[in-house]
Structure 1
Amino acid sequence: MFPLRPRSAPGSLAMAGPCALLLLLDGAVVSRSGLGATFLTSGAVVSGLAAGTLYAYRAGREWPAAALAATAATVSLLMTSLVERTVLQRTPGWAELLGLLVLLCLTCRYGRRLPLVLTAVGLFVAVVRMQGRAPALTDLPVLDRIDGLFTLLPIGFALLGGYLRAEDGRRRAATERVRQSERLDLARDLHDHVAHYVTAMVVQAQAGEHTVERDPGMARELFANIERTGQDGLVAMSRMVRLLRDTGDAGAAPVAPAMTTVEALVHRFSSPGQHAWLNVADGVDSSTWSPQLAKSVERLVQEGLTNIRKHARTATTVHVLLATEGDRLVVRVRDDAARSQRGRMRFGPSGFGLVGLTERVAELGGELTSGPMPEGGWELAASIPMR
């Protein structure tokens, strides 16, 4: 996986000021000669290459960035060789030194493995070789007590780059976990929406096929319900697509209250010969629910009703119950179909519905159960903490 790329250029701008000051410092101590001009030019070139390398990494061009860094190391090594053969310079070139150290840090943070090794070695050698054109450390305040300064500096900046690289990796992993969680959440939503609306359409179409000759009026009503259900499904799909396409919150569709959504689900479920009832206990207040709890309740009711349409065709009465037990919300979806009459519909079970519900409820610290009731019928039940 590619490393994280810098998203803007504040680093280049921040480095420009110190490099300019260091170039002025270098210009104050070098001789007024061709060699001095070459010395200052070398510092300016290395600083400019450091800025160019940052831009190259920002554009995702790792190899051009490595080439720029290698060029900077080569320029510095050539300058060091020229100074060593000519005169004993009284400064290593502070702007050039800063540029090399920044390049080393950038390379260790963003470079790929092969260009990282090749470039980092060249930059490290270039910094170490600069000690040959520096004044004796005993002549410098504070630095006179540090042994191997030109070895410690590149090691420190390389470690800094490695640390930032590790932080990038941790941030990338955290981002991927969030994206994976969102993908799973959207997959569960997609399954719930498609299964709910398509199942309702298929069941009503099958019923209409058997009643079209016997009771044309009921058949027309069923086909009208199919059309309405299909339109509702398209609206739900359009809303989900907008959520996937929108990057901000400004264009997000308004979210209906959870109890309103539950009431609409139960109302749409009722059909000739199969009635659904919603019973809400006095202690239930949906306005106090967290968004996660509200969404889980909606999905529980939706999945329970969808499974009844799939597997409990003979059910005549469906009850959706919402109540509280202490600090927990209890949601039950029950039907009165006999166990021996279940599963006659020709629907291939995907298994994803209950799996998604189990994950949702478990994330909130709740429990989900599904099975036959002693008095007959089937129940999907969940107990979820409200806090």
Structure 2
Amino acid sequence: MRRTSVVGNAALGAGFALVVLVMAAQYAAQGRVWALDAATGAAVCVLALGRGRSRGGAAALGLAVVGAAALVARLTGLPGEPGAAAVLGLLVLGGSAVRTLPWRSAAVLGVAGLALMAAGLLTAPAPATSFRVGIEVWALALAAGLGLRLLDDRRRATAEAVRHEERLALARELHDLVAHHITGVVVQAQAARIVARKRPEQLDDTLAGIEAAGADALSAMRRVVGLLRAADDTPGTAPATPGAAELAALVERFDGHGPDVRLRLPERDAEPWPPEVATTVHRIVQESLTNVARHAAHAHTADVTVARTPAALTVTVTDDAPPGHTRHLRPTGFGLLGMRERVEALGGTFTAGSGPAGGWTVHAELPVPAGGVR
């Protein structure tokens, strides 16, 4: 970016120098005094080239130089100012200032420039062509600067929206992974305390389960970090899309460390699930069972049902925790919020809440395009 700016300024400087020399040569050939025009044009062009330090200050100083040169030309009977080089420099200064200055400062500078040109047009003897051109060029500079400013604002808004979506996606992934694996560790650690008191001979197996759950958590975190550090989307960097087999393995990991978990899948589902739908189903089941383990310890069973219709895939997770042990979940908890965002991003519907007889139900309906994977 810096190299591009240097090259652009060098090209602009060459253009400025050419205009100053051409106008000086033209004035000399006509027998007119060219020194004031050349000096004014060179000064404004130099300010335009050095505008990066203070764009507002450079533009204001450029207007002051043009105003002073016009006054000198009027008092000495020299050719009217601003000349072509000075006008070109003002075009760059005005556009750059309006593009970058705060709105109030940009408005003040724009009005000041128009007022200066209008005053010169009204007080100069006819035909005052230079000031008419100056007004037109200054207006063009303001319009160009405003257009570039709006374009920059749109780009920043787009970039911020993308960063926001990326942060949300990352937050969902980290929450799902951390909550799932750490809950497994906590549940097994609680079980280890009971086993140590009642069946100490089984303690090694329980501790091995805790070790395995911790290793799984580390592996999952490494995969996420690896995806974040990947330089490009090369084959092998993306995680495999979880399917029915991975869903069964997920349920199996929960079974035996809390309520009995029963999984029901479509009997025959010839069409594969779209990757984004399959991932969302997997995350919903994972987060829902994690919540069962954390908040519904008194539940005896949890049912996971995935059903397929011609236009949608539905997933429902319910538990039978008694009313007296209803979980204390915030309606806007990160887990529920993440599940809702995933489902709604695919155009689906999501509901979650307790039933009249107790327990908790999470239900999501995800639209599946005809033909399965696209």
- Give me the TM-score of the superposition, normalised by structure 2: 0.80
Letter in 2 for 1:384: L
Q: C-alpha displacement at 1:284, in angstroms? A: 6.0
Query: What SS is found at the alignment partner of 1:89?
Result: coil
Letter in 1 for 2:9: S
**1:383 and 2:370 are equivalent in the alignment:** no
- Change in Cα spacing, 1:117 to 1:6, as seen in structure 2 (3 Å) is farther
Q: In 2, distance between residues paired with 1:118 and 1:71? A: 14
Structure-to-structure mapping, 1:60-139, within 5 angstroms: 64-89=54-79, 92-113=82-103, 115-117=105-107, 119-125=109-115, 127-128=117-118, 136=127
Indicate the residue corresponding to 1:308 in structure 2. Answer: 292
Of 158, 164, 180, the residue aligned with 1:174 is: 158
Q: Is the 8 A contact 1:318 1:333 kept in 2?
A: yes
Q: C-alpha displacement at 1:211, in angstroms? A: 1.4
**1:150 and 2:149 are equivalent in the alignment:** no
Query: What SS is found at the alignment partner of 2:50?
Result: helix
Cα shift readout 1:105-129 (whole Å, capped 9, x = no counterpart):
1111111245435544554455556
Letter in 2 for 1:112: P
**1:45 and 2:43 are equivalent in the alignment:** yes
**1:195 and 2:195 are equivalent in the alignment:** no
Query: What SS is found at the alignment partner of 2:167?
Result: helix
**1:363 and 2:348 are equivalent in the alignment:** no
Query: What SS is found at the alignment partner of 2:59?
Result: helix
Indicate the residue corresponding to 1:219 in structure 2. Answer: 203
Q: Is the 8 A contact 2:300 2:321 kept in 1?
A: no
Which is further off, 124-133 or 73-82? Answer: 124-133
Q: Is the 8 A contact 1:284 1:323 kept in 2?
A: no
5+ unaligned residues in a row in structure 2: which ranges? 370-374
**1:160 and 2:157 are equivalent in the alignment:** no
Letter in 2 for 1:360: R
Cα shift readout 1:173-202 (whole Å, capped 9, x = no counterpart):
333233223323333333222221222111
Of 322, 328, 331, the residue aligned with 1:339 is: 322
Q: In 2, distance between residues paired with 1:202 and 1:236? A: 17
Q: In 1, distance between residues paired with 2:64 and 2:158? A: 39
- Change in Cα spacing, 1:162 to 1:273, as seen in structure 2 (3 Å) is closer
Cα shift readout 1:326-377 (whole Å, capped 9, x = no counterpart):
2101122344x45347448xx8767321222123212322222345689996
Q: In 1, distance between residues paired with 2:289 and 2:44? A: 69
Of 209, 231, 254, the residue aligned with 2:193 is: 209
Which is further off, 94-103 or 176-185? Answer: 176-185
Q: In 2, distance between residues paired with 1:252 and 1:35? A: 73
Query: What SS is found at the alignment partner of 2:28?
Result: coil
Q: C-alpha displacement at 1:242, in angstroms? A: 4.8
C-alpha RMSD of matched pairs (Å): 3.8
Q: C-alpha displacement at 1:289, in angstroms? A: 0.8
Which is further off, 64-73 or 15-24? Answer: 15-24
Q: In 2, distance between residues paired with 1:371 and 1:112? A: 49
**1:228 and 2:225 are equivalent in the alignment:** no
**1:22 and 2:19 are equivalent in the alignment:** yes
Indicate the residue corresponding to 1:61 in structure 2. Answer: none
Kindly, what percent of the aligned residue pairs are identical? 34
5+ unaligned residues in a row in structure 1: which ranges? 57-63
Q: In 1, distance between residues paired with 2:120 and 2:301? A: 87
Aligned length: 363
Q: C-alpha displacement at 1:306, in angstroms? A: 0.5
Cα shift readout 1:186-223 (whole Å, capped 9, x = no counterpart):
33333222221222111111111111132224332222
Indicate the residue corresponding to 2:269 in structure 1. Answer: 283
Q: C-alpha displacement at 1:241, in angstroms? A: 4.1
Indicate the residue corresponding to 2:372 in structure 1. Answer: none
Q: C-alpha displacement at 1:303, in angstroms? A: 1.0
Cα shift readout 1:21-59 (whole Å, capped 9, x = no counterpart):
433431232237995234223323322321321x44xxx
- Change in Cα spacing, 1:38 to 1:177, as seen in structure 2 (3 Å) is same
- Give me the TM-score of the superposition, normalised by structure 1: 0.77
